[in-house]
Structure formats: C-alpha cells, structure tokens
Amino acid sequence: MFDFQTLRYSSPMMDLATFIANSTGTEVRSSHFSFIFKTYHEEVIKTMMEALKKSRSEISDIYR
C-alpha cells in the first residue's frame, strides 16, 4: 500500500480514490465500489468517535 498523502494536501478521500484507481481494475471498482466506500466511511466514523470520545449519535449529521 502506498500513502499518497505527501504528494499534496487534500482530503483523505483522495488517497482512497487514488489507491483504488491504481490497485484495481475497472470491473472490480464497478462491482464493489459501494462496499469499498461504505467500509471506508464506517472506519472514518469509528475514528472520529474514538478521537472525539463521542457516540455515533453525538457526531454531526454531516458525517453520518
């Protein structure tokens, strides 16, 4: 796995998009994108909950 974060300042979503684009074929991305994105989103929410020491319901709706 490569960390593209040092290339430029941007959203972590850009890291994920670049990683997926560079490590999977079109068929895999097309058929599994919803699963990949949902899994990534859930991990972001868990990280926020841990970092902020808040429950899922306490995190702003914009992140849920």
Please give the share of the chain, as a percent, with pLDDT higher than 90. 6
Residue 61 has pLDDT above 70, yes or no: yes
pLDDT at 53: 93
Lowest mean pLDDT among 3-7, 29-33, 34-38: 3-7
pTM (predicted TM-score):
0.61
pLDDT at 1: 60
Looking at residues 3-10, what average pLDDT do you find? 62
Helices within 3-59 (DSSP H only): 12-23, 26-52
